[in-house]
Amino acid sequence: MHEGDHALIDRAARGDQPAFAVLVARHEARLRHFVGRIVGPADADDVAQDALVKAWLALPRYRSEGSFAAWLTGIGWRAALDHKRRTQRTRVRDTDWQDHADEAANGPGAARLELARALAALSDQERAALVLTDGHGWSHSEAAAILGLPLGTLKSLAARARAKARAAIDVQPEEAMA
């Protein structure tokens, strides 16, 4: 039987590095995916690593009102925003679709290309709201807590992001030229 997150958190908060390593193994992939959608795939590893270091340092102050995964994702969100501020990059990032747009336009990666373009056009908060709720399956209240937003604001952001992404994907190249 696997040890639960709360027992591991208690041990890790007392400095047990192997316990923290188990938590990282359980939650790192989801964290990397989320921050990668905010900062781009080229910087996802660095930002996720930064978030994990911050989580390790903050574990003694962890409050178990929500899940560890939500707490960690919130740290990842703030680390992603800090990274973007530090690097002062534009919102449209270096993503796979920019480097491979021509070769993927009609191939099996075309749907992924369209999704990447649609996500890149969203604001950071819209993208985060959409990725958390539709991509990662968090409830609206959990996503609001992760992003530090009121529930109504999160719902509006997610709905607006969904509509923008849907509209961007539904526009066919022939229609865009008309």
Which CATH number belongs to the domain containing residue 13 in this structure? 1.10.1740.10
Give me the pLDDT at residue 120, please.
84
32 with 54, same domain? yes
Between 41-45, 52-56, 104-108, 157-161, the lowest mean confidence (pLDDT) is in 104-108
Domain boundary, last residue among 89, 107, 131: 89
Q: How far apart, in whole angstroms, are the C-alpha atoms of residue 29 and residue 85?
A: 24
CA atoms within 13 A on the CB side of 154: 20
68 with 106, same domain? no
Give me the pLDDT at residue 64, please.
76
Q: What is the total count of domains within the chain?
A: 2
DSSP 136: S
15-68 tens-digit pLDDT: 999 999 999 999 999 999 999 999 999 999 999 999 999 999 999 988 877 789
35 with 17, same domain? yes
Q: How far apart, in whole angstroms, are the C-alpha atoms of residue 83 and residue 87?
A: 6
> Hey, what amino acid is at 10?
D
Q: How far apart, in whole angstroms, are the C-alpha atoms of residue 41 and residue 21?
A: 23
Confidence of residue 103 (pLDDT cuts 50, 70, 90): very low
Domain that holds residue 177: 96-178
Neighbour-count burial of 23, counting CB atoms closer than 10 A to its CB (0-12 exposed, 13-18 middle, 19+ buried): buried
Domain boundary, last residue among 58, 89, 120: 89
DSSP 99: H
State the CATH number of the domain containing residue 152.
Answer: 1.10.10.10
Evaluate whether 39 touches 83 at the Cβ level (below 8 Å): yes
Which residue's entry shows tokens 């939650």? 27
DSSP codes, 38-57: HH-HHHHHHHHHHHHHHHHH
65 with 3, same domain? yes
Give me the pLDDT at residue 141, please.
93
Give me the pLDDT at residue 63, please.
83
pTM: 0.74
Evaluate whether 51 touches 72 at the Cβ level (below 8 Å): yes
From the list 6, 15, 28, the residue with the least C-alpha distance to 56 is 15
